[in-house]
Structure 1
Amino acid sequence: LPYSFTFQLLIQSAFIEDWPRFAHRGVLLDTSRHFLPVSVIKTNLELMAQNKFNVFHWHIVDDQSFPYRSELFPNLADKGAFSRRHVYSLDEIRALVEFAAVRGIRVLPEFDTPGHTLSWGNAVAGLLTECFDSSSKPIGTFGPIDPTNPVNYDFLLALVSEIRSVFPEEFFHLGGDEVSFDCWRSNPSVIEFMKQVGYGTDYSRLQNYYFQRLLDVIKAAGLYDNFLVWQEVFDNNNTLSSDIFVHVWKGYSNLEWGRTLQSVTAKGLPAILSSCWYLNYIRYGVDWQAFYDCDPHSFKGTDEQKKLVLGGEACMWGEYVDKTNVIPLLWPRASAVAERLWSSADVRDTTLAASRLDEHRCRMLR
């Protein structure tokens, strides 16, 4: 027999009013020292979204390997990647960028120069600086990018043009950390260049020259207007404009990195902090409280200076992690960083935070 019935559904409603304390809330993954499959990167992006991170800082290449599969310069990956299986095609990268975007996450590419570029050398003749011994004989090793070779800027501009077409992000991380001057000091043509331009033996000025020339060609081409650099670019007395964000990473203690933030912001430069959030440093026992206690505004400065600190990033460098352990080592430790970057400055009680993080860990595992 035909029948009918009616029923009523009730949905409990709620209104949540919430906003982040800092605009830049990032996680750095290093895919050069150990290659990370796309599936692992996607898992990390999903966890980032659950923790309200909004910037995936992709340190995609380094000395150890060049997994970015350039279509313009395919030899970079062919000769610089661990193998032809350990690369990211441009289509894969675009798909990852879209995967991140629908989760409210920007993908910030970093191609660190002029140091950390050994994996580039076999593909581009003349790119790296040849090293010499005390008798001016080549010793068969190479150092940073040769800033005295004008052809290198043409190559870098072409590469950055391709990168810009793949990553829609408005910022570009130029790197600039840990540049050894030893090879530059040994190279006769570099020494001669230093004499010609009047730099004497101050090789930090040569690094300044490199960055300024690279910035000029990138800006002139209309590729990027905003950049990030590691703090050495600031430490070496570069003349930086306010469109360059200083990424502070040196000095684990508040005293050390606080002085750097004070100096950077005193010159009117924007900054982000990572010094206290190097999650690749593995310690015995529970260590999240130290990450939770680190506050990017914990330095001596005016309110205007502190407004220039736009946030921070948790960093997972790849020396000792790969696809088998990167996720469990990063999470839920990064959740402590996430709460610090999101929540109000007066949310500081680690006992209360512990219960929240325990529950959140279970939530992430579901």
Structure 2
Amino acid sequence: MWHCDNGFCNKVFRPTTNISMYTSMSRCKLLCSGPQLWPQPIGYTYFSKTIVSLSISKLEYKFQSIPSDSVNQYLAEAFKLFLKDLARLEKIDTKSREPLKEPVNKMIIQLDIESDSDPRLRTNTDEAYVVKIDTEKHQVFIKISAVSFCGVRHGLETLSQLILLDQSTGTLITLSHAVIKDAPSYKYRGVMIDTGRNYIPVIDLMRTLDGMAMCKLNTFHWRISDVTSFPLKLSKTPELFEHGGYERSMVYTREDVKAVVKRAGIRGIRVLIEVALPGPVGRPWSWMTDTSCPTKTENFTCNNPLCLRLLMTESIFDVIQNIYAEIIELTNVDDIFHLSDGIFSLMRCNHLIEDRDGYLDKALFRLRMANKGFMPKLPIIWYSPHLSRDFEAKVWEKFGVQLLDWTQNPSEFYLSQFKVIHSTKWDLSCEMKKQRCTRYRTWQEMYSWKSWRNIEVFTIEGGETVLWTDVVDTGNIDEHLWPRAAAVAERLWSDMVANSSATKFVYLRLDTHRWRMLLRGVKVKPIWPAWCSFNPGICLERIP
């Protein structure tokens, strides 16, 4: 049985009768520790201290207010996923079940989307939601309401975390009464995966989307190409994948991209595809005559095809416009766009600042043309020092920059002109030296990083974990992503100043969430030995 001790549930063998006990870990967690929600809601919450039993076989649901047919289609698919998760819980074989001493209540779920007729995640989408649970006469009434589809989807995710399996009886349980009013702290909450250095199969990307949805992350930043490969089959520029694919089995087709976009959309996630431009662009662009690989001095050479970069010619920008147009068509995301533009070091031969004057101005013009004459509300590039130059800073003023490697310098005041996406301390990759991993950042470090709030910027749009795949592929992508990306997800959703470190209750909630993610097929690394999951109070004695 289970005993509640200072907010922690500990397993007790041969329990005595003079202390209160719970027959299952789930019952104890709901009443002792409280619902183990991830990310933590930041609005008003109320939870009762009584438990009711439920069953999918006694379920009714109603889509109360649906503003469009497309929203109805998205919501129907999202609700199927919710029911699938509950069914998965009910199918768990719990040995030595005890007879159920309380009635199984009828569950009535009502979903209400108030006004947003576009199911896609947009830059102005309201993701707030409200979940209410009330019980009366053996009926559990559950209402989820939001302005948008994305809000209701988040509410369904929260509800799925409120409904647990009672291991002692094999039935579903939840609290008899609850209220959660919740909304994210930041609009942009992303995960970037680089598929240019190592190819990541579509099935792994799909599973990543499932994990993101469980953590309420909303942007899958797909850096699809790099100097080493271009594994995307575009209809207007097939030469790029023909010269840039490692082999034909390591290429994403248009159908692959559309499948990823569809899966993401149902989970309230947008897909941003980034093509690494303007250079270095490497071998994938070697078919074009307007590429360059200059020799500066005897000690500053470039004889490696990976160092190829693009010249600032109209023919190059014609190709770039075609790429932009096809990306917008495939992703159906036209209000935010990642133009890359980063200057990443490779063999000292790719210092491009002096050879790429005017790139941003021309790229923005071509992006507008590719987007049917409209400028996306939030164009994004990687931050690099060239943005300190007056002309390019002015061109990019009040647009988005993503900070990857930032050392705060008071003299560099120009960040105040930009909308910023933070990634500096949220790099999931190993720090590589001489082809060896020299440093691996922990989830506790990522969860506790809060100095990003102190950088003076125009606005903080949010943040993003980034995963470069130098030593990552299908064999280890999940262990690099999870649970560290989940830790960042809570920082971006909740961002609680008063609770910005990994306290013992953060450990407890993250461990519970890890088991949920495992049950849904996401391979999450453990945060401690399994013994601590059953005896958390003892394991966490020394943590504040």
TM-score, normalised by the number of residues in structure 1:
0.81
Q: Which runs of 5+ in 2 are unaligned?
A: 1-103, 107-138, 141-175, 431-436, 520-544
SS in 2 for 1:213: helix
Structure 2 residue aligned with 1:295, among 437, 444, 450? 450
Written as runs of structure 1 = structure 2, the 5 A alignment for 1:1-366 is 9=106, 10-11=139-140, 12-122=176-286, 124-132=287-295, 134=297, 140-142=303-305, 143-169=307-333, 170-178=335-343, 204=353, 206-221=355-370, 222=373, 224-225=375-376, 226-232=378-384, 233-237=386-390, 238-239=392-393, 240-242=395-397, 244-251=399-406, 256-257=407-408, 263-267=413-417, 269-281=418-430, 287-295=442-450, 297-301=452-456, 305=457, 308-343=459-494, 344-351=496-503, 352-366=505-519
SS in 2 for 1:172: strand
Q: Which runs of 5+ in 1 are unaligned?
A: 1-6, 186-202
C-alpha RMSD over aligned residues: 2.9
Q: Note the alpha carbon deviations across 1:157-181, whole angstroms, 9 max, x for none.
A: 1222222211212222111222569
Shift of 1:130: 3.2
Shift of 1:338: 0.7
CA distance in 1: counterparts of 2:177 and 2:409, whole angstroms: 44
Is the alpha carbon distance of 1:65 and 1:355 closer, same or farther for their aligned partners in structure 2, counting shifts above 3 Å?
Answer: same
Partner of 2:87: none
Query: Contact conserved, 1:292 with 1:340, CA < 8 A, in 2?
Result: yes
Partner of 1:189: none
Letter in 1 for 2:367: I
Query: Contact conserved, 2:320 with 2:366, CA < 8 A, in 1?
Result: no
Partner of 2:48: none
Is the alpha carbon distance of 1:86 and 1:284 closer, same or farther for their aligned partners in structure 2, counting shifts above 3 Å?
Answer: same
Query: Contact conserved, 1:164 with 1:223, CA < 8 A, in 2?
Result: no
CA distance in 2: counterparts of 1:139 and 1:289, whole angstroms: 41
CA distance in 2: counterparts of 1:168 and 1:148, whole angstroms: 28
Shift of 1:184: 7.7
CA distance in 2: counterparts of 1:264 and 1:224, whole angstroms: 23
Shift of 1:150: 2.4
Shift of 1:296: 6.1
CA distance in 1: counterparts of 2:332 and 2:398, whole angstroms: 18
SS in 2 for 1:66: coil
Is the alpha carbon distance of 1:286 and 1:141 closer, same or farther for their aligned partners in structure 2, counting shifts above 3 Å?
Answer: closer
Q: Note the alpha carbon deviations across 1:39-63, whole angstroms, 9 max, x for none.
A: 0000000000001100000000001
Q: Which has the higher contact order (CA 8 A, sep 6+)?
A: 1
Shift of 1:146: 3.0
CA distance in 2: counterparts of 1:277 and 1:179, whole angstroms: 18
Structure number having the greater strand percentage: 2
Is the alpha carbon distance of 1:126 and 1:8 closer, same or farther for their aligned partners in structure 2, counting shifts above 3 Å?
Answer: closer
CA distance in 1: counterparts of 2:468 and 2:517, whole angstroms: 22
Shift of 1:356: 1.3
CA distance in 2: counterparts of 1:258 and 1:50, whole angstroms: 37
Is the alpha carbon distance of 1:54 and 1:257 closer, same or farther for their aligned partners in structure 2, counting shifts above 3 Å?
Answer: farther
Query: Contact conserved, 2:193 with 2:222, CA < 8 A, in 1?
Result: yes
Shift of 1:329: 1.7
Letter in 1 for 2:239: N
Question: Which has the larger displacement, 82-91 or 139-148?
Answer: 139-148
Is the alpha carbon distance of 1:18 and 1:99 closer, same or farther for their aligned partners in structure 2, counting shifts above 3 Å?
Answer: same
TM-score, normalised by the number of residues in structure 2:
0.56
Partner of 1:199: none
SS in 1 for 2:454: coil
Shift of 1:243: 5.2
Letter in 2 for 1:299: N
Query: Contact conserved, 2:281 with 2:310, CA < 8 A, in 1?
Result: no
CA distance in 2: counterparts of 1:168 and 1:77, whole angstroms: 22
Count of aligned pairs between the two proteins: 331
Partner of 1:4: none
Identity, in percent, stands at: 28
